[in-house]
Amino acid sequence: MSDLLEVKGVVKRFGGFTALDGVDLNLKVGERLGLLGPNGSGKSTLVNCICGTLLNDEGSIRFDGREVSKLPAHKRIRAGLSRSFQLPKPFASMSVVDNLCVPILYAANHRVGIRKCTPSEATDEAMVILKQIGLAAKAQEMSGGLTQVDMRKLELARAMAAKPKLLISDEAMAGLSNSEVDEILTLLFTMKEQGIAVIMIEHIMRAVMRFSERVAVLVAGKKIADGEPEAVMRNPEVERAYLGE
Amino acid sequence: MEISSSLILNAIVSGILLGGFYAAMAAGVSISFGMLDVTNIAHPAFIILGSYVAYIVNSWWGWDPIVIAIVCSPLFFLLGMGLYRIYYYAFERKGQQSLRSLAFFFGILFITEVVLILIFGVDYRLVKSVYTETTWQLGEVDLPLRLVVPFIFSMIMIFGLNMFLSRTFFGRAVLAVAQDQFALRLMGVNPVKIKELGFGLSIAIAGIAGSFLIVIQPVQPSIGRDYIGLVFAICVLGGMGSIKGALIGAMILGLAESFTSTFFGPSWAPAVSFGLLLLAVAFKPSGLLGR
Amino acid sequence: MSNKAFIVAAYAFAAVLVAVSQFVPNDYFFSAAYTVLLFVILSTAWNILGGYTGYVNFGTPAFFAMGAYTTVALFKLSPTLPLWVMIIGGTLIAGLTGLGMGALTLRLRGVFFSIATLALSVVLLTFVVNWDYAGGARGAYVIPPREVPLGFHRYIQFLYLVMVFLSATAVIIARMIETSTMGRGLEAIRDDELAAECCGVPTLKLKLMSTTISGALMGMAGTTYPYFVSYVEPASTFNLSYAVNSIAMPLIGGMTTWLGPLIGALLLGSVQQVVQVTISSAWNLLIVGVLLVLFVTLAPEGIMGLWFNWRKKQKLKAGGSK
């Protein structure tokens, strides 16, 4: 059986600068992968190429058995891919619950094998998700006025509301306090229970080590390590990338 | 119509003369839109304002329009700074740029036009100076001085501006503020102040270009709108924040318009600049020399 | 209120407006009302792309003119064609223009889109000015039929009826979009297009639908115009007043809902009619421009926004005093 995600030889250039230089990455159904790398190594570019917000110049991206590298982003989302943004991008003039209705109505409703729901059912489903993540009390608030950690939760919840098979969490914990990090981690673990594969991009090591089954490291557009978390962290090349010579 | 070499030669020369002037009109937009990311579609309104200031001073005291331009430019500079202040407090600070700021500048454009109509009416106005009626002859080529003099001063202004931006601290700060505001802060420079000064500069240039405009042709309040396409097309074609690029874009536009006018008639001229704008914007938003 | 109920209510209200107008002795009322209703349609149409989707269109005059000139062309083809044919024809052509404009420009960042709409508007104007079949710069005459349909006394009364029902139609369509799933998608696009795309919203398709519907309705407003003025020429058809009003009215009324453009058009339109007659049309435009700038800087949510905020404060007060 083929993997859920198969990224092969992906290259992305911006003018004269090569952000991704032939990256391979595979992910099985339900697998939890931590993606590490120093700033500017190409992690976000890779995420953008996988999701379709950028189109890769070379290489192939197969998701759930289909070649998706030429599809627009919304079609990939409808196929079961989902992502959160590093800097939360809420629909600021819409309420918290309405924010979740968008992916329910536009992504989940178009997933093969999932029952379509009406707009009012979508609101109910959104409330269920909000209860799960502890934001039910703020359902009617404008999403633009939330606290940092609540916005991160909403960002993840929105990605989850699309009923994805693979969710990419892009530095959801950056800049949060210890207890807030744990809140986000709990959220991510609920995805494990639902069998959703997760690619977690983080700099907070304890979170990565606790959460990931596998770890991959990207440096200057190339993957330099990919395997068991303990083994990868002991890899001298990885040490060098983070700590210098 | 027979296509003689003198017809073509004259079309080329007027195209170049016009192009140089168009660069002066658009240089301000290269700064405000290309570098400072402020979509000031009211820019042509300030050009027209400059024209009318030149008209008033010229008809009362008989000063030369170019002199008026230089003397009045500090006023336009201050006007630009004030306008940016309002823009900043109302929009940029809250991050609500696009839709509302566009409507805002559209309103400013509109108000300026209507106020000018209320004061001056819709008649065409022009200026008189020593060279406005003279035409030199260079072989088969006509060189009307009302085109040549603004061209010369436009080129002086363009080159001066380019040097200013690349050599002086303030100029380089303006170039920098477009790319990395945070780094600028770390250097102890207030990006907002720089943007304010930069925007003031763009309006001052507009005012000067206005004086040039009324030398070249008679002016009426509504013609400002016709130039929106022109100045933005040049800015986009030229790569957004590049003065050199704007000059090249302006030359292309000047030549295109000149040839269209000569061979198809002047009523098609607006379609040229706006059509080129459409193409530029659709196919190459980063322009010819862009980032 | 469900869609069906609203449709019935809107058309019933329209019928009432027509019936009541029969008691108005003043003929000027019908001319003024025609103009105000024109702005109702234009503002409502503009707001679908502007307020709901977040894309500012400066080319309203172009779409309006597409509708008007389709009527002129059809009239020249066959002067006895009934009005409803002109309306459908103009709406379709304007809709296609909207689709074309969208296809050309919607991949652009919001600001470039707006500049492109301005450019398109001028290019269209230049073509029309040079199009001799429809009269070109010299203009064209469109003569209303001698027999006024539906037995009204004067043709302008018939036009008033048509415009009332067209306005109701435009408002109904806007409300249907606003309350539908498509409306949510457009809102998401307006707030954050990239995030919307990543939530499964087919942004390009929805934006194209938005420009097409918006353009079609703006053209619809223009289809009866030749019969209103009788003499159609480019300068007055591509009037800047339409451009500025179609932006100012939704902004002042409130861009997030169908009520906003309606209120903005009724208020501002009526004020303009009064000013135009008592002072001058230049002062008229100045007032619109100043109001636009004031509202956009100080009260960008418009009258509806002020109303919603006031309501919220009232609710908080009521909750606090318990």
Same domain, yes or no: A228 and A175 = yes
* Domain range for A155: 91-163
In a domain, A56, yes or no: yes
Co-location of A55 and A176 in the same domain: yes
The structure's pTM equals: 0.88
Q: What is the domain extent for residue C176?
A: 3-321
Q: Which residue, A163, A191, A223, sits at the end of a domain?
A: A163
Taken in order B114, B117, B120, B123, the sign of the CA dihedral is positive
d(CA A41, CA A23): 12
Regarding whether A176 and A245 lie in a shared domain, the answer is: yes
Backbone angles phi, psi at C58, to 5 degrees: -90, 0
Q: Which chains touch A (3+ CB pairs under 8 A)?
A: C
CATH number of B5-283: 1.10.3470
Do A123 and A64 lie in one domain? The reply is no
Q: Are residues A245 and A168 in the same domain?
A: yes
- The whole-angstrom separation of Cα B42 and Cα B104 is 9
* HSE-up (13 A, CA, CB side) for residue B169: 4
Section C140-146 average pLDDT: 80
Q: Name the 3-class secondary structure at A1.
A: coil
* Arithmetic mean of pLDDT, A61-83: 93
Sign of CA dihedral A221, A224, A226, A230: negative
> Average pLDDT for residues C56-64, to the nearest whole number?
90
Give tens-digit pLDDT for A7-27: 999 999 988 889 999 999 999
The answer to whether residue A86 is domain-embedded is no
Q: What's the pLDDT tens digit per position in A105-139? A: 999 888 877 788 888 888 999 999 999 888 888 88
Token pair listed for A26: 């595979």
Q: What is the pLDDT of residue A244?
A: 63
What is the least distance, in Å, from the CA of B140 to any CA of chain C?
Answer: 32
Q: Are A189 and A200 contained in the same domain?
A: yes
What's the rounded Cα separation, in Å, for the pair C276 and C39?
A: 15
Note down pLDDT in tens along chain B; length 291 residues.
Answer: 566 788 888 889 989 999 999 999 999 999 998 888 888 989 999 999 999 999 999 989 888 889 999 999 999 999 999 999 999 888 876 555 567 888 899 899 989 998 999 999 888 998 888 877 788 888 778 888 888 999 999 999 999 999 998 888 888 888 888 777 777 777 777 888 889 999 999 999 999 999 999 999 999 998 888 888 788 888 888 888 888 889 998 999 899 888 888 888 877 777 777 787 777 776 665 544 443
Judged by CB atoms closer than 8 Å, whether chains meet at B98 and C116 is answered as no
Question: Which residues fall within 8 angstroms of residue C275, CB to CB, at 6 or more apart?
Answer: C283, C284, C287
Mark which of A112, A139, A163 sits at the end of a domain: A163
CA distance C270 to chain A (A): 31
Neighbour tally for A178: CB within 10 Å: 8
Give domain status of residue A9, yes or no.
yes
The residue-averaged pLDDT of C129-148 equals 75
Higher pLDDT, A114 or C97: C97
B257-287: b (≥16 Cβ within 10 Å) or e: bbbbbbeeeeebbbbbbbbbbbbbbbeebeb
Q: Looking at the complex, report in whole angstroms how far the Cα of residue A71 sits from the nearest Cα belonging to chain C.
A: 12
Q: How many domains would you assign to chain A? A: 2
The two three-digit tokens of residue B113, written as one number: 């036009």
The pairing of beta strand A32-36 with beta strand A197-201: parallel
Looking at residue B213, its pLDDT comes to: 93
Distance from CA of C20 to the nearest CA of A (A): 39
Q: Which of C6, C34, C317, C58 is nearest to C168 (CA)?
A: C6
* Three-state SS at C45: helix
Per-residue pLDDT band for C261 (boundaries 50, 70, 90) equals very high
CATH number, domain containing residue A240: 3.40.50.300
Best of B94, B96, B111, B257 to mutate (most C CBs within 10 Å, chain C): B111
For residue B43, give both structure tokens: 């820019």
Q: Does C122 touch chain B (CB under 8 A)?
A: yes
- β A81-83/A166-170 pair status: parallel
CB contact under 8 A, C122 and B270: yes
Residues present in chain A in total = 245
Question: Quick one: tokens of A110?
Answer: 């178009």
Residue A145 sits at the chain C interface (C-beta within 8 Å): no
DSSP B119-187: HH-SS-B----TTTT-EEEETTEEEEHHHHHHHHHHHHHHHHHHHHHHHSHHHHHHHHHHH-HHHHHHT
DSSP secondary-structure letter at A145? G
**What is the radius of gyration, based on Cα positions, of chain A?**
18
A65 & A159 share domain: no
The total of structural domains in chain C comes to 1
> Is the minimum CB–CB distance between A55 and chain C shorter than 8 Å?
no
Strand positions, DSSP E, C10-52: none
Token code pair at residue C154: 């004067």
Query: In chain A, which among 91-110 make CB contacts under 8 A with chain C?
Result: 91-94, 98, 101-103, 105-108, 110
Q: Which residues of B touch C (CB under 8 A)?
A: 39, 41, 86, 90-91, 96, 98-100, 102-104, 106-108, 110-111, 114-115, 117-118, 222, 225-226, 228-229, 232-233, 236, 267-268, 270-271, 274-275, 277-278, 281-282, 285
Residue at A85 is within a domain: no
Q: Are residues A188 and A236 in the same domain?
A: yes
Per-residue pLDDT tens over the stretch C12-23? 888 888 888 888
Q: Is A95 in the same domain as A124?
A: yes
- Give me the helix-helix angle, C60-77 and C110-129, nearest 10°: 30
A148 belongs to a structural domain:
yes
